[in-house]
């Protein structure tokens, strides 16, 4: 893998990740861009103890551009995008419309492929492996950025999720604090450690492997299952069998196996609702340990993949109980979801 770091015309960082070591990345961004100005502000909710990023500058961001104006496609004569090169493998750049920026964290865009019409599930194992390298490298780099406490790599897929650019891409947030969800998991793990002397994540994964009924897919180094108390209609958690706190700590065997496992999961997601159905909207979210928080060593890297579609043509909305009280009501029993996800295996 070759990594090349460069700058866009307004000073934002752009990184190329290439499978081949002899690729030269020297294209210059010719656009007359003004420096990025952001007005992000983090406000803390005194009642809930969580944080809200107020980011009014994002209202002007690019919204469903036509395909020939896609800012994530390679540049060509007369049409300059965010990526000055004529082609690329994986490209990562700082978001021009960040929710978090400066000493309030960092927002990056990850372009998974230069092919505008592809989906992540269409990538080859080599391409998916390159994306994993990029996620890992960004986690390692952002760990060194002062003020970044936690790195979140994720993909929103589908207009139903609110995706405003069709080009296959994900995002990376470097938060300046431990996120509320991760904080909850750390507290659960600490409580479990106190009561049982054991690791919570090990016990959760061990239970799923023992009960088998919710296991969707198992490799030599990874296991994917629908969690016992799934919140979403179709939700899968993917864990490396050897527990590690973050992407940097994955061993070679787990890295090598990851593309085949993850691509198969994504393909199954697209088949859940049967042929003729539009691609399944999903959120794919990497959970990583914060860098300095207490209990970091008890955290387990894992990926949570879920869809908001509950049946053909119908979405699960976060309505009164979910939005008002944080109590999810799930119409699909986790065991039935797991069975469906096994039925649609390649
Ligand atoms: Zn594109």
Q: How far is the CA of 79 from the centre of ligand 1 (A)?
A: 12
The answer to whether 174 and 40 are in contact (CB under 8 A) is: no
What was the pLDDT predicted at 98?
84
Residue 245: phi and psi, rounded to 5, are: -75, -30
Q: How far is the CA of 158 from the centre of ligand 1 (A)?
A: 14
**Number of helices (H), then strands (E), in the chain:** 6, 15
What was the pLDDT predicted at 57?
67
- Give, as residue ranges, everything with CB less than 5 Å from ion ligand 1: 70, 72-73, 116, 167
29/8 Cα distance (integer angstroms): 6
Q: How far is the CA of 204 from the centre of ligand 1 (A)?
A: 40
Q: At 136, is the secondary structure helix, strand, or coil?
A: helix
Catalytic residues: 169
227/229 Cα distance (integer angstroms): 5
Q: How far is the CA of 232 from the centre of ligand 1 (A)?
A: 30
Q: How far is the CA of 74 from the centre of ligand 1 (A)?
A: 7
What was the pLDDT predicted at 331?
92
The answer to whether 323 and 308 are in contact (CB under 8 A) is: no
What was the pLDDT predicted at 333?
97
Q: How far is the CA of 296 from the centre of ligand 1 (A)?
A: 38
Nearest to 286 by CA among 151, 129, 123, 140: 151
Neighbours of 133 (CB within 10 A): 18
Query: For residue 338, what is the enclosing H or E element?
Result: helix 334-343
pTM: 0.95
Kindly give the parts of the chain with pLDDT less than 70.
Answer: 57-63
What was the pLDDT predicted at 63?
63
What was the pLDDT predicted at 40?
80
């Amino acid at each position: 893998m070759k990594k090349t770091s460069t700058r866009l015309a307004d000073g934002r960082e752009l990184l190329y990740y290439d499978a081949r070591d002899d690729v030269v990345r020297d294209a210059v961004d010719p656009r007359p861009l003004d420096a990025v100005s952001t007005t992000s502000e983090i406000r803390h909710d005194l009642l809930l103890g969580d944080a809200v990023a107020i980011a009014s500058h994002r209202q002007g961001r690019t919204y469903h551009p036509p395909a020939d104006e896609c800012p994530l496609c390679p540049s060509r004569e007369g049409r300059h995008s965010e990526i000055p090169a004529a082609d690329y493998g994986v490209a990562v750049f700082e978001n021009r419309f960040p929710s978090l920026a400066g000493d309030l964290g960092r927002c990056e865009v990850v372009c998974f492929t230069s092919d505008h019409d592809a989906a992540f599930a269409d990538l080859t194992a080599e391409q998916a492996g390159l994306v994993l390298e990029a996620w890992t490298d960004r986690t390692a780099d952002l760990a060194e950025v002062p003020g970044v406490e936690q790195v979140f790599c994720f993909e929103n897929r589908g207009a139903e999720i609110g995706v405003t650019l069709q080009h296959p891409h994900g995002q990376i947030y470097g938060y300046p604090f431990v996120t509320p969800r991760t904080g909850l998991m750390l507290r659960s793990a600490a409580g479990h450690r106190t009561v049982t002397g054991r690791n919570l994540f090990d016990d959760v994964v061990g239970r799923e492997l023992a009960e088998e009924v919710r296991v969707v897919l198992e490799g030599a180094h990874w296991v994917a299952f629908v969690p016992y108390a799934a919140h979403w209609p179709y939700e899968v958690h993917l864990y490396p069998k050897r527990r590690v706190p973050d992407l940097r700590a994955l061993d070679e065997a787990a890295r090598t196996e990851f593309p085949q496992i993850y691509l198969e999961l994504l393909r199954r997601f697209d088949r859940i609702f049967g042929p003729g159905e539009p691609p399944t909207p999903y959120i794919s979210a990497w959970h990583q340990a914060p860098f300095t928080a207490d209990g970091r060593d008890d955290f387990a890297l894992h990926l949570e993949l879920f869809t908001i579609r509950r049946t053909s043509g119908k979405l699960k909305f976060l309505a009164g109980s979910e939005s008002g009280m944080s109590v999810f009501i799930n119409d699909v029993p986790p065991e039935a979801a797991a069975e469906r996800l096994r039925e649609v295996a390649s």
